[in-house]
């Protein structure tokens, strides 16, 4: 897998220098009817709450009721969204949503056994057994420039760290994965597209380091299919290559105007409205071992966020898709 993947990286780099759009091999050949895929496999339609984080912080109960009315049945948190675990669980129960996963950055995932104990207690309240590190160890020693877009800052910051940030991230994943496993909690890593860029003159990537250094028994994968495509990589080939290790996926679409890059850039679309071939991709992800599918969309949005989520949910089989007030 790593040889194939490295060739894909080099190809993506060449494409990124010259192409005006996502390569044709990533585009859907014809519209695919995916309305029954999840239900036929007995899987709930999930959503990553990051997509409506501001709304969740302001009104968690109202936000979760809207998501439930759209047709979502499972929920992945991005931290605690400004609430306590008890309040989140109560709001989810009231809305008929199961909280099945949570993203926790390196500052929240803990370092000590006491940290682990507190985290496990909070997870017990939420009913969660899957924790995801959403990105590399945040480079806090690099200052963000005035008016610098966050994505550009993040890319510059991580790029300045070279291989070191990826090695430290891998070591953290192994250590926390082992600690959480003792309590029956699984840990995974979530990708963006920055992982697939070279970190040294050999062409080695951050992803190469993570895969070489992490223990598959301790660290699973949550593959963000949209970010993989934004790097110029065929997400079908990618997810298939990690069969048995990938358990979760972000169902994210992008427009064909997205130029392959490793710098947190994409042109976001509702699922089914963009360039990804879901007729190939969802079955491939399921065959690889994915059992938790979470819709997520990046900003900027051209419509109300709940309306965009409703469009994605309708494409994936949720009915009826509401038009939120």
pLDDT at res. 1: 41
Distance (Å, rounded) from C-alpha 226 to C-alpha 297? 9
In the chain, alpha helices (H): 2-18, 37-40, 53-58, 60-70, 85-95, 113-126, 150-159, 163-181, 206-213, 225-230, 235-241, 278-288, 305-315
pLDDT at res. 31: 63
Q: Is the pTM of this model over 0.85?
A: yes
Distance (Å, rounded) from C-alpha 280 to C-alpha 297? 20
pLDDT at res. 179: 97
- Judge contact between 258 and 300, C-beta under 8 A: no
pLDDT at res. 26: 56
Cα atoms in the Cβ-side hemisphere of radius 13 Å centred on 95 = 26
Residue-wise pLDDT tens digits, 27-51: 554 567 888 999 999 999 999 999 9
Which secondary-structure segment (H or E) carries 80? none
What's the Cα-to-Cα distance from 179 to each of 31, 110, 136, 244, 273, rounded to whole Å?
45, 10, 19, 21, 41
- What's the gap between Cα 78 and its chain centre? 10
Residue-wise pLDDT tens digits, 228-275: 999 999 999 999 999 999 999 999 999 999 999 999 999 999 999 999
- Judge contact between 119 and 109, C-beta under 8 A: yes
> Running DSSP on this structure, what letter comes out for residue 214?
S
Cα distance between the two ends of the chain: 47
pLDDT at res. 66: 98
Which has the closest alpha carbon to 230: 263, 199, 202, 201?
263
Q: List the chain domain ranges.
A: 2-315
Distance (Å, rounded) from C-alpha 121 to C-alpha 312? 34
Which has the closest alpha carbon to 281: 32, 74, 9?
32
pLDDT at res. 32: 74
Q: What is the pLDDT along the chain (325 residues), one digit of tens a residue?
A: 443 445 444 444 443 333 335 555 555 545 678 889 999 999 999 999 999 999 999 999 999 999 999 999 999 999 999 999 999 999 999 999 999 999 999 999 999 999 999 999 999 999 999 999 999 999 889 999 999 999 999 999 999 999 999 999 999 999 999 999 999 999 999 999 999 999 988 999 999 999 999 999 999 999 999 999 999 999 999 999 999 999 999 999 999 999 999 999 999 999 999 999 999 999 999 999 999 999 999 999 999 999 999 999 999 997 543 444 4
pLDDT at res. 22: 58
* 3-class DSSP assignment, residue 245: coil
117 CB contacts (<8 Å, ≥6 apart)? none
59 CB contacts (<8 Å, ≥6 apart)? none
> Running DSSP on this structure, what letter comes out for residue 127?
T
Q: Name the architecture of domain 2-315.
A: Alpha-Beta Barrel (3.20)
Burial pattern 236-246, b for ≥16 Cβ within 10 A else e, equals bebbebbeebb
Relative orientation angle of helices 85-95 and 60-70, to the nearest 10 degrees: 30
């Amino acid at each position: 897998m790593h040889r194939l993947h490295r060739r894909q990286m080099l190809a993506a780099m060449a494409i990124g220098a010259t192409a005006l759009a996502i390569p044709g091999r990533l585009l859907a050949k014809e519209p695919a009817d995916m309305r029954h895929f999840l239900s036929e496999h007995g899987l709930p339609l999930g959503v990553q709450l990051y997509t409506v984080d501001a709304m969740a912080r302001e009104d968690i109960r109202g936000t979760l009721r809207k998501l439930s009315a759209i047709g979502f049945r499972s929920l992945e948190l991005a931290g605690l969204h400004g609430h306590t675990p008890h309040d989140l669980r109560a709001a989810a129960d009231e809305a008929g949503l199961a909280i099945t996963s949570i993203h926790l950055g390196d500052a929240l995932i803990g370092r000590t056994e006491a940290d682990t104990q507190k985290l496990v207690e909070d997870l017990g309240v939420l009913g969660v057994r899957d924790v995801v590190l959403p990105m590399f160890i945040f480079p806090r020693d690099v200052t963000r420039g005035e008016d610098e877009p966050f994505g550009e800052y993040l890319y510059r910051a991580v790029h300045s760290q070279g291989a070191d940030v990826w090695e430290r991230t891998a070591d953290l994943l192994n250590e926390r994965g082992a600690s959480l496993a003792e309590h029956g909690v699984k840990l995974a890593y979530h990708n963006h597209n920055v992982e697939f860029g070279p970190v040294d003159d050999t062409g080695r990537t951050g992803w190469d380091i993570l895969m070489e250094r992490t223990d598959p028994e301790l660290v699973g994968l949550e593959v963000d299919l949209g970010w993989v495509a934004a790097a110029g990589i065929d997400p079908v080939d990618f997810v298939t290559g990690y069969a048995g290790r990938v358990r979760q996926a972000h169902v994210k679409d992008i427009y064909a105007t997205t130029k392959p890059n490793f710098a947190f850039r994409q042109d976001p679309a509702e699922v089914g409205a963009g360039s990804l071939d879901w007729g190939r991709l969802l079955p491939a992800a399921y065959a690889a071992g994915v059992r938790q599918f979470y819709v997520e969309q990046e900003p900027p949005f051209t419509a109300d966020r709940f309306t965009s989520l409703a469009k994605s949910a309708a494409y994936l089989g949720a009915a009826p898709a509401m038009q939120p007030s």
